Structure 1
Amino acid sequence: MSRTHRLFQLMQALRQGPGPKTAAGLGFEMGVSARSIHRDIATLREMGAVIDGAAGYGFTLIEDNALPPMGFRDTELEALVLGLREVQQIGDPDLAEAAGEALRKLQGRLPPRQAHRLRHSVLAAHRFQRPEAPKIKVADLRDATWEELEVQFDYTDANGASTCRQVKPLGLIYFDRSTVLIAWCNLRRDFRIFRLDRMSELQVTTQSFRPHRVVMLRDALAKIRAERQAAQASTPPASKTAEPRAAED
């Protein structure tokens, strides 16, 4: 197999299914060594493909420079509109403003018929009770999560007790009544959920935990699901729609 053909096959493998994919697994699939896969990944990155990950943690294709821009089916467009309008309702101010800007950009770049469909969409999103406004700048927290930098903040729990935490931020989840951060807490030495409206004095540190975030987030979500299932098994049916609290700190 020529190297050009192998690079093409590697891109195909990265496009298929969820990541991350390990070099050993990709190498076994294509009949080459993991070392060859690492060299090929470096070559694809030089050619413009955006591939996240590192040796030992697997690779995920983020942006494929070989595929042309795609148009939208009408139902796909409706889904985008509904999703962005939901973000306008539940997102922090920066995210809500970005959702509105994205809608305006979509409208300006779509064919006339679809632009009209977006402008007069039959779908809308409205929340009569929005989540509590955060006391921190959520954009800084999102940036720290993407950059895989630990953050510090003051936290007040449900009982009113205050602590100072330093955590590895892994992801944000927007619930009906609150927005939460999933993180690895250095104080508790375990995964924890923190409500953003109970956080204050956020500081982004220079302590990096790259490239562990994707793997840690997967483990955290698995733990939360297991705790949720265990809680549901012993909870009356009327209470099973509440937001998960098992891992909340």
Structure 2
Amino acid sequence: MSRSQRLLDLLQLLRCHKYPVSAEHLSQKLCVSVRTIYRDISTLQSQGAEIEGEAGLGYILKPSFTLPPLMFTKEELEVLLLGANWVAKQANGEFSDISNNAIAKISAVLPRDHSIKHDEDVIRVASIIEVPELTINLSSIRETIEQRYKTTIEYVDGKQNTSSRVIWPILIGLFQHHYVLVAWCETRKAFRNFRLDRISTWSPLAEHYPSSRQALLKKWQQIEGINENGIRY
């Protein structure tokens, strides 16, 4: 691997981490020595890369720093296409148009030798035929999460028992057969998962919940044993 390619790979690794990452971890990923990572970090910083941190504490790439457009490999394009197709076919097709638009935009700027044709796929995503219908508007839920509003819901559990809750919605999880809402429940004084197709009413309140959404999400991930990349450890 050339040094210029290694520097680009190092930037990409840093961009994938939201929290400081150690030089030891970076050296393992790039199969080089820790000393080499220190030199490469110094080189990138001198060239304008907004990398913060120091030896022994870890490094992080500031969110404001943007990398120049990079060429996708064929394998990376296959992953993007597979992911977009999966999202488009899940849970009532809520993101079908958005996913198709994203695929079209990516395809429009790719050289001919990097195009991905549907009939050349070796992996495809199956359609989900039976999906529970939502009685509430998903866009309204997304807006409530973004605005950080407390919300009153009527929830029907698996035994058909209905309860009224005041929740702090923080995240929507997309699964094959349904959406799941992660929220702090004031009634239970704990994080709870709610299937969206079992929420019969959704009434945002005029009150923001006290914690930041990012802080709540981080706390939920710690409780669930989920790392920053969304993988359970």
Common fold: TM-score over 0.5? yes
| Distance in 2, Cα, partners of 1:131 & 1:208 | 32
| Distance in 2, Cα, partners of 1:96 & 1:61 | 32
Q: CA, structure 1 residues 69+205, in 2 after alignment: closer, same or farther (shift >3 Å)?
A: farther
| Distance in 2, Cα, partners of 1:206 & 1:92 | 29
TM-score scaled by length of structure 2 = 0.64
Partner of 1:189: 189
- CA-to-aligned-CA distance 1:91-135 (integer Å, 9 cap, x gap): 4443222112211222222222323x2444413201344442222
Q: CA, structure 1 residues 222+199, in 2 after alignment: closer, same or farther (shift >3 Å)?
A: same
Partner of 1:166: 166
Q: CA, structure 1 residues 175+65, in 2 after alignment: closer, same or farther (shift >3 Å)?
A: same
Where does structure 1 lack aligned partners over 5 or more consecutive residues?
1-11, 22-48, 50-59, 227-249
1:72 Cα deviation (Å)?
A: 1.0
1:197 Cα deviation (Å)?
A: 0.5
Spell out the pairing of 1:193-212 with structure 2 (5 A cutoff): 193-209=193-209, 212=212
| Distance in 2, Cα, partners of 1:102 & 1:125 | 17
Partner of 1:52: none
Q: CA, structure 1 residues 204+96, in 2 after alignment: closer, same or farther (shift >3 Å)?
A: farther
Q: CA, structure 1 residues 118+80, in 2 after alignment: closer, same or farther (shift >3 Å)?
A: farther
- CA-to-aligned-CA distance 1:20-64 (integer Å, 9 cap, x gap): 56xxxxxxxxxxxxxxxxxxxxxxxxxxx9xxxxxxxxxx97854
Partner of 2:53: none
Establish whether residue 18 from structure 1 lines up as the match of residue 27 from structure 2.
no
| Distance in 2, Cα, partners of 1:210 & 1:68 | 38
Q: What amino acid does structure 2 have at the position aligned with 1:112? A: R
Q: CA, structure 1 residues 65+132, in 2 after alignment: closer, same or farther (shift >3 Å)?
A: same
| Distance in 2, Cα, partners of 1:64 & 1:190 | 34
| Distance in 2, Cα, partners of 1:225 & 1:171 | 16
Partner of 1:73: 73
Partner of 1:99: 99
Confirm or deny: 8 A CA contact 1:81 1:118 kept in the other structure: no
How many residue pairs align between the two structures? 176
Q: Secondary structure at the match of 1:184?
A: strand
1:152 Cα deviation (Å)?
A: 2.5
Q: Secondary structure at the match of 1:81?
A: helix
| Distance in 2, Cα, partners of 1:102 & 1:139 | 19
Confirm or deny: 8 A CA contact 1:90 1:130 kept in the other structure: no
Partner of 2:85: 85
TM-score scaled by length of structure 1 = 0.60
Q: CA, structure 1 residues 100+63, in 2 after alignment: closer, same or farther (shift >3 Å)?
A: farther
| Distance in 1, Cα, partners of 2:146 & 2:62 | 13
Q: What amino acid does structure 2 have at the position aligned with 1:179? A: Y
Confirm or deny: 8 A CA contact 1:165 1:187 kept in the other structure: yes
Partner of 2:219: 219
Q: CA, structure 1 residues 176+16, in 2 after alignment: closer, same or farther (shift >3 Å)?
A: closer
Q: CA, structure 1 residues 150+114, in 2 after alignment: closer, same or farther (shift >3 Å)?
A: farther
